[in-house]
Chains A and B, each alone.
Chain A
């Protein structure tokens, strides 16, 4: 089987680019899957502890990624901290 194809229009504002995911994926499923990945990767108490820290780090994320992650957060149900944690999964695995 091949995965679905999603077109990302780079001419759109970064916040809007990833809304195209909604055409291909079930939004409820996406948000549950994101929660599952975070739960399996980050211990619960660490997750709770880092949420305010991660939110404050948003201002250090350069464009266009800050806008894109904000847009993704809205697709995933509005949780910006979780969207940031997901996008730094590789870099912060040990953390």
Chain B
């Protein structure tokens, strides 16, 4: 997966994500979801039929969230996930996204919940808000945050990119999506960044892969523009 949160010169925050998964059947199961209460939309998301959690979602006029897989565990640690889930009653990562979209009152509250709620396993949460500076990548361990990397536009940090590798580690040489995305974002520049440019970045050949199922573009300040595009063979 690849997630980007970026802020333009006017303080508008944009959030885009590619969801990658090696089962093409998921393309036909992808759907946009509108969660309603009392006849009103309370939050939006994109998911797969048969799955109750969310990896991509938006609380309108508050914040947006995407989750990227974090694969730091060795396979023989699978039992820790089982113990976390059923003994400690920890939350699956996609259920915490839903709960946060439903309950958090603003960007700050969302970041606190996503950083501190105990989880079954690790993950990256990428969060975008509605005001300048409201953007962050949270690297999660089971118990809490391993790292929190907010936007820092005053010092050149007008975007954050997250793939499936910790940002402090070197990316894999064969599939270095992180550097490809950063190079393109630098070429676009903060003045010209917008949803269309974000889509172009997420469509680059080394970023949009054969396993990319969908791309979602969102900005919590303009909830009507929530867009998901199904990718055919990357």
Partner of A3, one of B31, B36, B81, B85: B31
Bound complex: CA A72 to CA B69 (Å): 24
B82 CB contacts on chain A under 8 angstroms = 92, 95
Interface contact B120-A86, CB-CB below 8 Å: no
The answer to the question of A52 belonging to the interface, with a C-beta cut-off of 8 Å to chain B, is: no
Interface contact B28-A29, CB-CB below 8 Å: yes
The answer to the question of B121 belonging to the interface, with a C-beta cut-off of 8 Å to chain A, is: yes
A95 CB contacts on chain B under 8 angstroms = 78, 81-82
Number of A-B contacts (CB under 8 A): 113
Query: Digit string of A39-52 for contact with B (CB within 8 Å is 1, else 0)?
Result: 01000000000000
Size class of the contact patch on chain A? 35 or more
Interface contact B31-A4, CB-CB below 8 Å: yes
The answer to the question of B92 belonging to the interface, with a C-beta cut-off of 8 Å to chain A, is: yes
Interface contact A11-B92, CB-CB below 8 Å: no
Distance (Å) between the CB of A64 and the closest chain B CB?
Answer: 9
Partner of A6, one of B28, B33, B73, B121: B33
Q: How many B residues have CB within 8 A of the partner chain?
A: 45
Contact A2 B230, CB 8 Å, known A24-B31, A60-B89, A90-B121: yes
The answer to the question of A21 belonging to the interface, with a C-beta cut-off of 8 Å to chain B, is: yes
Interface contact A65-B95, CB-CB below 8 Å: yes
B120 CB contacts on chain A under 8 angstroms = 91
Bound complex: CA A90 to CA B26 (Å): 14
Interface contact A72-B50, CB-CB below 8 Å: yes
Interface contact B81-A91, CB-CB below 8 Å: yes
A57-95 interface (Cβ within 8 A of B): 57, 60, 62, 65, 68-69, 72, 75-76, 83, 86-92, 94-95
Interface contact A91-B69, CB-CB below 8 Å: no
A18 CB contacts on chain B under 8 angstroms = 52
Closest to A32 in B: B25
The answer to the question of B51 belonging to the interface, with a C-beta cut-off of 8 Å to chain A, is: yes
Interface contact A36-B75, CB-CB below 8 Å: no
Interface contact A72-B52, CB-CB below 8 Å: yes
**Residue among A3, A11, A40, A94 with max Cβ neighbours from chain B (10 Å):** A3
Partner of B228, one of A2, A57, A76, A83: A2
A25 CB contacts on chain B under 8 angstroms = 29, 31, 49
B77 CB contacts on chain A under 8 angstroms = 94
Q: List 16 A-B contacts (CB under 8 A).
A: A6-B49, A7-B33, A7-B34, A10-B36, A11-B36, A24-B31, A30-B50, A34-B50, A37-B23, A40-B23, A72-B52, A83-B50, A86-B50, A87-B92, A88-B85, A91-B92
User: Beyond A5-B33, A30-B50, A92-B78: 9 further Cβ-contacts under 8 Å?
Assistant: A1-B230, A3-B31, A3-B46, A6-B49, A72-B52, A83-B50, A90-B69, A90-B94, A91-B120
Nearest 9 pairs of A and B residues by beta carbon: A94-B78, A95-B78, A3-B30, A94-B75, A5-B32, A91-B120, A68-B52, A10-B37, A60-B86
